[in-house]
Amino acid sequence: MSYFSELEGKKILVVGGSKGIGKDIALAFAKLKADVIITGRNEADLNKANDELVEFNSNCSYLTADIQNVNQIYTMIDQAYERLDGIDVLINNAGVNIPKPALEVTEEDWDHVLDTNLKGTFFCSQRAGKYMIEQGRKGRIINIVSQMAFVGYIKRAPYCSSKGGAVQLTKALAIEWADKQIKVNAVAPTFIETDFTKKMFDNKDFYNDVLSRIPLGTLAKPNDVTGAVLFLASDMASFITGETIRVDGGWTAI
């Protein structure tokens, strides 16, 4: 029996799955023959990513939605539920950051980050959890948070706040839905090498500062996060809930 073979045929929804970590997660599930729906705001990016997914499983597809809008969240989850005939695993990966000194953060900045990273995560979980409970599925919800839920960093006051809140949300939902056998966990990566972060790391001072804080001495890659997600979605994690796995190379161990 190969690792994670029990995920074949599972119904997976990856919110924020068109690029970077989210796309890597979606591809891993598709390669295991799970039925995957990815979501995001940019239809062109979603269509491009889905072209890769269907090479492994023709049942994969995408939906467009802005998770800052609760009505769009409900519509997205409803459509995913109908299309997949259920949801076994929800991955809340969508996230944003507006790096600014705290004294320069506007109300609009704060709302944009918190509405996406925290409010969006809650209402996606709420709607998917409703369907899992109604169907009697022993579902999984996996929130992609950040090491910055546990440590502070400059120019990231709203981001750290949103991710810290998401860790506490993970615990609260895990406790509330434990009697329904819905496991709610999180994965907290450090900085990841993606096309999105490449511009940040072109700043050598920033790059060197980040590396100096990671005892393993290198940046993480998307598949480092994906491995933790597959574990939490699998039978190997059947007795784990309310936990956050830190994929940070030891940053928060110091």
DSSP-derived secondary structure for the chain? --TTGGGTT-EEEEET-SSHHHHHHHHHHHHTT-EEEEEES-HHHHHHHHHHHTTT-TT-EEEE--TTSHHHHHHHHHHHHHHHTS-SEEEE---------GGG--HHHHHHHHIIIIIHHHHHHHHHHHHHHHHT---EEEEE--GGGTS--TT-HHHHHHHHHHHHHHHHHHHHTGGGT-EEEEEEE--B-SHHHHHHHTSHHHHHHHHHT-TT-S-B-HHHHHHHHHHHHSGGGTT--S-EEEESTTGGG-
Q: Are 164 and 117 in contact (CB under 8 A)?
A: no
What is the structure's pLDDT at 12? 98
Per-residue pLDDT tens over the stretch 26-36 = 999 999 999 99
What is the structure's pLDDT at 248? 97
Task: Tell me what the mean pLDDT of segment 205-212 comes to.
Answer: 95
What is the structure's pLDDT at 1? 47
What is the structure's pLDDT at 157? 98
The CA distances from residue 176 to 114, 170, 184, in Å, are 23, 10, 10
Residue 245 CA to residue 131 CA, distance in Å, equals 26
| Domain containing residue 184: CATH number | 3.40.50.720
The CA distances from residue 141 to 6, 43, 130, 209, 253, in Å, are 17, 24, 12, 33, 26
In the set 62, 81, 131, 159, the catalytic residue is 159
Residue 198 clears pLDDT 90, i.e. is over it: no
Per-residue pLDDT tens over the stretch 49-67 = 999 999 999 999 999 999 9
Per-residue pLDDT tens over the stretch 111-154 = 999 999 999 999 999 999 999 999 999 999 999 999 999 999 99
| Integer-rounded Cα radius of gyration of the chain | 17
> Which domain covers residue 145, as residue numbers?
5-253
Residue 89's φ and ψ, nearest 5 degrees, are -135, 125
First-last CA distance in the chain:
38
The CA distances from residue 169 to 98, 124, 131, 162, 205, in Å, are 22, 12, 19, 10, 34
Per-residue pLDDT tens over the stretch 71-119 = 999 999 999 999 999 999 999 999 999 999 999 999 999 999 999 999 9
The residue assigned the tokens 């700043």 is 203
Nearest to 61 by CA among 71, 49, 77: 49
Quote the number of domains for the chain: 1
In the annotation, is 159 catalytic? yes
Which amino acid, 254? I
